[in-house]
Structure formats: structure tokens, C-alpha cells
Structure 1
Amino acid sequence: MSSFSTTIDSLAGFLIRGGPALWLIAALSVVTLALILWKIWRLVLMGAWSGAASRAAVEAWCAGDANGADRAVAGRSSLRARLVRAAMAARQDATLTDSAAREETTRVAKAELSRARVGLRALELIATIAPLLGLLGTVLGMIEAFQALQTTGSRADPAVLAGGIWEALLTTAAGMAVAIPASMALTWFESIVDRVQADMEDFATRIFTRGPALRDAA
């Protein structure tokens, strides 16, 4: 219990020494962690890592089994499944020309990908401003340190000056400590969305270029 209290006191001491910039960075760190966990949860719910059913549906469609393709994705709410259902429905809609069916499929794909990208701009913003806040805190701290040096003149204690400088540098380190995981998470999430987009494009193309001739293209 005493070690935990010591750790809390040390963290509080760092925050006090770092000033307002460090407090802002600490708040950003909490937001970053919450955003990353929320985004993982959302991608799981969207089925970003599940594509077997959609792939099976496309394979059935390409083999000429439209009913089997419909059954494979029936009731599924993953990003890929939604796109596959929309593409097959558009392909089978006799009121739509081939061009219109493709446009409708593209509209659905864009909407699903937009849902998958929610939150990424916030991570990008954090990865950009966290090191800048750290640099700002360092600059402000260095200004204070050199103002103190100017005031004391030749009587300045080098140890006190060094202490002021390392305290100022805390914000730079903290800003980088927040920006690095935010940037890594952003890159990872973007790669997941890019993979989903590639699958969507592949599935839509196969649905429109292969499979049962369910209607005449107008």
C-alpha cells in the first residue's frame, strides 16, 4: 500500500512540475487509451476480422447458386456481409441498370467504410498535437529557467538550473509517450479498414462480373 501511495505521489509531483501542458497531455493519454479500446470494440462488432461467410457467399454466387449466396450472409451484420447483400440485391433488381446497380453498391460501400473510419481522425489529431503540446511545455519551462538564471545572475546554482531544465523536458517526453502509441494504433486501424475495403472491392467486382444472369443489363 505504501509503494502505491509513493507512486501516486511521484506522478502527482511530475504533473505539478510539468505545469498546464503536462496536465493536458495526461488528459490526452486517458482519451487516447479510451479511444483505442472503444475502436477495437467497435471493429469487433462490425466484424472487421470476420469475412468467411461473405467469402462463401461470393463463391456460391460465382458458382451460380444465388439462393446459397443469400443464405450465407443472411442475418449477418459485418461490414463485408452488408456490402455483399447490397451488391447481390442491386444485381438482382430488374429496375436498375447495370450502372445504377454499381452506383448503389458503391454508395453502400462508402457508407460502411465511413462507419469503420469513425474515430480515426481523433487519433490522428492526438498523434499530431501531443508532441506539440510537449514542446510548448518545454519551451515555457526553459523560459522560466532562464528567467530565474537572469534574476540570480552569477549567484545561480547550476543544480537548480539543471533541475528546472529537466522538469521542462518532462513535457516533451510525455508528449512523445502519448503520440507514439496513438500513431501506432492509427496505422493499425487504417490497415484494418484498408483490408476491409480491398475485400469489398473484390467481392463487388466478382458479383457484378460473374454469377447467375439474373437480369438483363440495360
Structure 2
Amino acid sequence: MQFNFLQQLAAGGAGIWVIAALSVLAIAVALERLHRFRPSAVVPPGLVDEVLPLWRTGRFDELEAVLAADGSVLARTLRFALAHRSRWPAETLAQRAGEVASRALRGQQQRAYPLAVVATVAPIVGLLGTVVGMIEAFHVIAFTGGVGDASLLAGGISKALVNTAAGLAVALPSLAMHHFFRHRLVTSGLALEEQLERVLDGSPPAEAA
């Protein structure tokens, strides 16, 4: 008899539907993060090379236009520094800009948090389905007075194993993607810090003539 995995999933009970919903959530979050949390969305290549001469020569109107056209974390942080350049000394300005960048990165990482939830919940739901399947199997044994006919137990045992496999199959990729985005957060944060230091190097920006 040919093994039909889809039929086995369909027979897995309510737990399979919950795991399927979790898988859809994980895929949606992963795709959204891959699109919106690209390295170029945090630190676009070449942006600092473009804005640095404007910052140092005090061409703030041009600088504002360049930054406003860029939606990256680096651009938003530099816009904050530009708006408060006269309010704080250079050291304080750099510190506050770093705090703005840190909050933005934490917000980006928080949007990937559902992956951690899926990675935690999916195997637990699978385990619950496993327990339910085993209860059904023992229920069959209790009402048939023995285990002579193994086919009577097949439904419950199959549900148990399918739920376990489905939960793990969803949890493992979700956990891997969660750690992938954590790694991207660290590397993007280091790159962002380096680029901010290039602009906010401790010397106050020149005022426009």
C-alpha cells in the first residue's frame, strides 16, 4: 500500500490544523523580514559617502532632502542628528543618535519575534496531538479487550506520530530563521554604528554660510 502523507496529515486531527496555521504565520513573518530587514534597509551602501560632504560643509537643506528620500534606519538616525545638531554638543548628539538607532533595530527584531513563538508552540501542539493519539490508541485497546488486531491501533498511533513530525517540521525552520535574523541584527547594528561614527565623529557640523 502506498503511503500518502497528505492523507496522514488530514487524519492528524485538530492539532494538525493549528500547526498548519503556525506554519503560515512563520512563512509570512520570514518573507516579510527578508524583504524589510535587508542589510540595505538598515545601512544602504554609499549613503554616508553621499551625505558626509553635505554634513561637513553645512548644506543642510540638501542633506535633509537626501535623507528624506531614504527610508533606511541610517537615514532616519541621521535625520534625528540633523534636527538636533544645535541642541546638544557633539558627544551628546552622537550618544542620542545611537539610542535612536538602537531603538529602531530593536523594533526590527521584535517583528521577527513571532518566529520564536512558532518555534516554541509548534512542537508543544505536536506533543499534545501525540498524547491525544496515544489516548485514542489505548482507548481502542480498552474496548477491544486486547491488542490482537494491530490495525485497530493504527489510527491512534498514526495520529500521534504525524502530530509529532508536523510540529517539529514547523518548529525547526522557524527556529533557524529566528536565529538568522538575530545574526542579521548584530551585523547590521555593527555596520550602522560604524557608519554613524563616520558622520558624527565628534566634530560639530559646519553651519551654512
- 1:95 to 1:29, Cα distance in 2 relative to 1, 3 A: closer
Tell me by how many angstroms 1:98 deviates. 3.7
**1:18-63 per-position Cα deviation (integer Å, ceiling 9, x unaligned):** 111111101111121122222223225x83375212342476589x
Which one of the candidate residues 152, 158, 164 is aligned to 1:172? 164
Q: Is the 8 A contact 1:149 1:156 kept in 2?
A: no
Q: 2:108 matched to 1:116?
A: yes
Q: Is the 8 A contact 2:51 2:63 kept in 1?
A: no
Q: Is the 8 A contact 1:54 1:72 kept in 2?
A: no
- 1:212 to 1:97, Cα distance in 2 relative to 1, 3 A: closer
Percent identity, aligned pairs only? 33
Aligned to 2:146: 154
Q: TM-score, normalised by structure 2?
A: 0.78
- 1:47 to 1:104, Cα distance in 2 relative to 1, 3 A: same
- Cα distance in 1 for partners of 2:104, 2:45 equals 18
**1:177-198 per-position Cα deviation (integer Å, ceiling 9, x unaligned):** 1111111221222222222211
1:72-87 equivalence runs, <5 A: 73-74=66-67, 75-87=69-81
- Cα distance in 2 for partners of 1:155, 1:206 equals 74
Q: TM-score, normalised by structure 1?
A: 0.76
- The one-letter code of the counterpart of 2:101 is A
How many residues get paired? 203
- 1:156 to 1:150, Cα distance in 2 relative to 1, 3 A: farther
- The one-letter code of the counterpart of 2:80 is A
Q: 2:49 matched to 1:39?
A: no
Q: Comparing both structures, which one devotes a greater share of its residues to helix?
A: 1
Gaps of 5+ in 1: 1-8
Q: Is the 8 A contact 2:40 2:72 kept in 1?
A: yes
1:7-46 equivalence runs, <5 A: 11=6, 13-44=7-38
Tell me by how many angstroms 1:209 deviates. 3.1
Aligned to 1:3: none
Aligned to 1:5: none
- Cα distance in 1 for partners of 2:105, 2:160 equals 42
Which one of the candidate residues 185, 190, 205 is aligned to 1:198? 190
Aligned to 2:45: 52
Tell me by how many angstroms 1:67 deviates. 4.5
Q: Is the 8 A contact 1:58 1:84 kept in 2?
A: no
- The one-letter code of the counterpart of 1:181 is P
Aligned to 1:145: 137
- Cα distance in 2 for partners of 1:204, 1:210 equals 11
Structure 1 range deviating more: 152-161 or 176-185 = 152-161
- 1:31 to 1:136, Cα distance in 2 relative to 1, 3 A: same
Structure 1 range deviating more: 171-180 or 79-88 = 79-88
Which one of the candidate residues 183, 187, 199 is aligned to 1:207? 199
**Alpha carbon RMSD of aligned pairs, Å?**
3.3
Structure 1 range deviating more: 112-121 or 182-191 = 112-121
Tell me by how many angstroms 1:176 deviates. 0.8
